[in-house]
Amino acid sequence: MPARVIVQSLPDYTHAQLVTAGHHGFVIDEPEHDNGNDLGPTPYELLAAALGGCTAMTLQIYARRKQIPLLEVAVEVEHERVHAKDCLECKHEREGKIDVLRRRIVLRGPLTPEQRDELVSVANRCPVHKTLMNAPEIIDSVELAE
């Protein structure tokens, strides 16, 4: 069954949107310096959270299954838009501005170097990482409400 999220504008605010995901609800917004009301995370912060959260969950699931003594995972994700020519670590040759997500993974536990390397390789198998690397198709439909 496909994942479904509903995003609906909040008419009393400049950018704020109400998000409903299953039985969860929250607000996304832009910071005040971007004419928002700072009522919640920005869309890019949610994207970073999705990558970080999926990475941490994937590592924990894998470690449990393989009985690797991983006690805790912390994932820090930073997003920025930079000129492609300025990104020395970027693997793709593109022009213009590009989005760069920098992911820092901190593992805690009595891990061997081999286990640490194994977990680092598993991090790239998290479903959100795979989705971002594969440039998903976005198929739009538009309706006019009366």
The reply to whether 56 and 98 lie within a common domain is yes
Q: Which residues contact 85 (CB under 8 A, 6 or more apart)?
A: 95
Q: Total structural domains in the chain?
A: 2
The reply to whether 36 and 48 lie within a common domain is no
The reply to whether 31 and 51 lie within a common domain is no
* 99 SS3 class: strand
Predicted local confidence at residue 146, as pLDDT: 81
Query: Helices 113-123 and 43-66 sit at what angle, rounded to 10 degrees?
Result: 140
The reply to whether 25 and 93 lie within a common domain is no
Binned average pLDDT, 10 residues per bin, the chain of 146 residues: 90 95 95 96 96 98 98 96 78 77 96 96 95 91 90
Residue 146 lies in a domain: no
Q: Which residues contact 115 (CB under 8 A, 6 or more apart)?
A: 68, 69, 70
The reply to whether 126 and 59 lie within a common domain is yes
Residue 96 lies in a domain: yes
Per residue in 97-118, pLDDT tens? 888 899 999 999 999 999 999 9
Residue 29 lies in a domain: yes
Predicted local confidence at residue 99, as pLDDT: 83
Q: Is 27 exposed, middle or buried (0-12, 13-18, 19+ CB in 10 A)?
A: middle
The reply to whether 59 and 121 lie within a common domain is yes
The reply to whether 118 and 64 lie within a common domain is yes
Residue 19 domain boundaries? 1-40
pTM: 0.89
The reply to whether 36 and 46 lie within a common domain is no
